Structure 1
Amino acid sequence: MYGENNGLKKEIRESIKVTIKRKDSNLELLSLYDNDIISNKENFYNSIYSGSLFSKKKIITINYGTDKIINVIKDVVDKYPENILIIIISDILEKKSKLRNFFETNAKTVCIPCYLDGEKDLQIIAKTELKKNNINLSQESINLLVEKSNSDRDNLKNELEKIKSFSLNKKILELDEIKSIINFSGEYKSDSLINECLCGNIPQYKKILSELYINTINYIFLLKILSNKIRRLLSLKMSEQNYNNLDSLINAFKPPIFWKEKTIIKKQLSVWNLNELKTTIHEINDVELLCKK
């Protein structure tokens, strides 16, 4: 699975695990990173071919998969070990990616692109979850939730969980209550902080940062916003040569970009080049790894 939509990749991965576990409860789960395989191939092969005393089936998840592991993956797929399922989670992979091309063309593998959710996708997720829990929100409140999610279904679901907890004794919630529940003002400033940063507007960036510091900063949330926005800019930059101007590029982008963001994104695209965005993505990945340790 590759692409910017981390929430969708997470859902698909968990769905696969649940489906297999229904058929065989004795399931062994292993999680590795791309660098783990590169630094110790022997250990990776042992994790695949060594038997288990407690389980018949094994799911091995490789996080942040890149072309660096293509030869190892080809070798494993050719030998096709029984009762082993390998799930590779990657960021954006270009069409020329060896890993992507192999998984798209090999009969033994499946390749799933996971693009960012569009406004309609997020609306459906929100409405389905609210209906399932008999919670009544206005369309304006739902629009606010979708806008605040930064095209990330994980963010949306986190906010929906807050609303579900708040609504245990009250099923009809007003817009002001929703703003209060999801800490609208603070997180709105977080989004503005990242946008000013990516636009290179340092004075405004410092001003918002000082205001956020007073109220304490949710660093993980900031990192998620930054990661999603950089990935979207990278995807746009990779397609830029196919369009006559930035307006055409932004208007044609899928999923559609909110009209409020178009001017900001146009400015950001003029500030960043492709190599800078790729380098920043790798740096963000390193920070995410440190956060998980």
Structure 2
Amino acid sequence: MKLKAAQVETFLRAPDAKAQLVLIYGEDEGLVRERAVKLAKTVVEDLKDPFRVIEMGSAQLKEDSSRLRDEAAAISFGGGRRVIRLRDIGDAQAAAIADFLKDPAGDALIVIEAGSLPSRSKLRQAVEKAGNGMALPCYADSGRDLEGLISAVMEDHKLRIDRDATRYLVANLGSDRMISRSELEKLALYAFKDGQVTLADAMDCVGDSSARHYDDVIQAVSQGNVVNLDTALTRLTEEGLNPVGALRMMLGYFQKLHLVKGQITQGANTEQAMKSLRPPLFFKAADQFRANLNNWAVPTLQRALQILLEAEKDCKSSLAVPETIAHRAMIKIAVARQKQARR
């Protein structure tokens, strides 16, 4: 069985009893880990309990493929349902997982954590086709996901948060759930005494230099400045940041430009169209966004989006080094912007 992304949170709150084995997969390792923990805790609250929680990796499964069945059938000392957490599992272990699903044992909940898996993945197919398996996709956080995460963390700490602070956080937190939650927990501790998170608090705690480096890359491309792009990419790699991350953020930025530009061509004024974005633009980014709207034509934006989507697909295919693919795509878009300016 498989779930749509919109159904995942409901499942995690009340898992289907028929799903003995759950595959949680996606490129956002932090979100995969967070959801695996949340699911496991529906069975065992203390995941450090050595009698009710077993952790296994791909190497252990490779050494003894029957161990999964043995662990699932085992009875815990002191009673209670058990949880088996499998990590670093991929298509190489698909046969062992498929065999277990065809002939399951015991009542232990088996939670598999995996990276990005294409639809043709043998592991995904084995779980999705099984009546006692469930596959949960984890996609990088969107603006709406981040708003929900921000609200949840602040509510947990009984903190109020200003609207401008939320907008700033959405604009500056990355797409990795684990890192975003860590940054928000740090912010909550910082503002705990006041009971309120202001924009100043958010900027003090999450004035992330990585976000600035990513934005430098995006703006260099949007302005068609190849020299600035090379400089920004050099800074990015010196900070240990991945150009592929900038590529994904750039895709979101150009999708917003295309959406707003389309509304303007249909008669909306610029300010109305920009205000329709959800989540709203952080106010300090509005001027540059407005300038880019004026400088990009719809056909050129469509070409940029095509380049970005193809590059993202190629990055997942392992046909070449992802960093090289991302760099080439950015140069293509910057050059397209230059050509448009010369017309």
TM-score range, shorter chain: 0.5 to 0.7
Distance 2:228 2:246 in 1: 21
The equivalences for 1:1-293 within 5 A come to 1-22=24-45, 25=49, 26-33=51-58, 36=59, 41-46=62-67, 48-49=69-70, 55=77, 57-66=82-91, 68-184=92-208, 186-192=209-215, 203-208=227-232, 217=239, 219=240, 222-223=241-242, 226=244, 266=305, 269=308, 272=311, 274-279=313-318
Question: 3-state DSSP class of the match of 2:118?
Answer: coil
Using the TM superposition, give the Cα deviation of residue 206 of structure 1 relative to its aligned residue in structure 2, in angstroms: 4.6
Distance 2:110 2:185 in 1: 31
Using the TM superposition, give the Cα deviation of residue 126 of structure 1 relative to its aligned residue in structure 2, in angstroms: 0.9
Checking the alignment, whether the CA contact within 8 Å between 1:58 and 1:83 is kept in structure 2 is no
Using the TM superposition, give the Cα deviation of residue 267 of structure 1 relative to its aligned residue in structure 2, in angstroms: 7.3
The change in CA–CA distance for 1:190 and 1:98 in structure 2 (over 3 A counts) is same
The change in CA–CA distance for 1:281 and 1:171 in structure 2 (over 3 A counts) is farther
Distance 2:234 2:250 in 1: 27
The change in CA–CA distance for 1:228 and 1:115 in structure 2 (over 3 A counts) is farther
Using the TM superposition, give the Cα deviation of residue 106 of structure 1 relative to its aligned residue in structure 2, in angstroms: 0.9
The change in CA–CA distance for 1:101 and 1:201 in structure 2 (over 3 A counts) is farther
**RMSD, aligned α-carbons:** 4.4
The structure number with the bigger radius of gyration is: 2
Distance 1:283 1:80 in 2: 39
Question: 3-state DSSP class of the match of 2:53?
Answer: strand
The change in CA–CA distance for 1:270 and 1:125 in structure 2 (over 3 A counts) is closer
Question: 3-state DSSP class of the match of 1:208?
Answer: helix
Using the TM superposition, give the Cα deviation of residue 109 of structure 1 relative to its aligned residue in structure 2, in angstroms: 0.8
2:311 maps to amino acid: W
Gaps of at least 5 residues in structure 1 are 234-246, 285-293
Distance 1:212 1:138 in 2: 31
Checking the alignment, whether the CA contact within 8 Å between 1:4 and 1:228 is kept in structure 2 is no
The change in CA–CA distance for 1:268 and 1:188 in structure 2 (over 3 A counts) is farther
2:117 maps to amino acid: L
Distance 1:283 1:46 in 2: 36
Question: 3-state DSSP class of the match of 1:110?
Answer: strand
Give the TM-score normalised by the residue count of structure 1: 0.66
Using the TM superposition, give the Cα deviation of residue 279 of structure 1 relative to its aligned residue in structure 2, in angstroms: 1.7
Checking the alignment, whether the CA contact within 8 Å between 2:244 and 2:322 is kept in structure 1 is no
1:74 maps to amino acid: A
2:211 maps to amino acid: Y
Q: After alignment, is 187-196 or 105-114 more displaced?
A: 187-196
Gaps of at least 5 residues in structure 2 are 1-23, 252-257, 263-277, 282-288, 294-300, 324-343
Q: Which residue of 1 aligns with 2:8?
A: none
Distance 1:270 1:16 in 2: 32
Distance 1:195 1:144 in 2: 17
2:198 maps to amino acid: E
Counting helix residues as a fraction of each chain, which structure ranks higher?
1
2:172 maps to amino acid: K
The change in CA–CA distance for 1:265 and 1:103 in structure 2 (over 3 A counts) is farther
Distance 2:320 2:114 in 1: 12
Give the TM-score normalised by the residue count of structure 2: 0.57
Question: 3-state DSSP class of the match of 1:93?
Answer: coil
The change in CA–CA distance for 1:82 and 1:135 in structure 2 (over 3 A counts) is same
Deviations 1:120-153 (A, max 9, x none): 2221221232233232322111011112223333
1:30 maps to amino acid: E
Aligned residues: 253
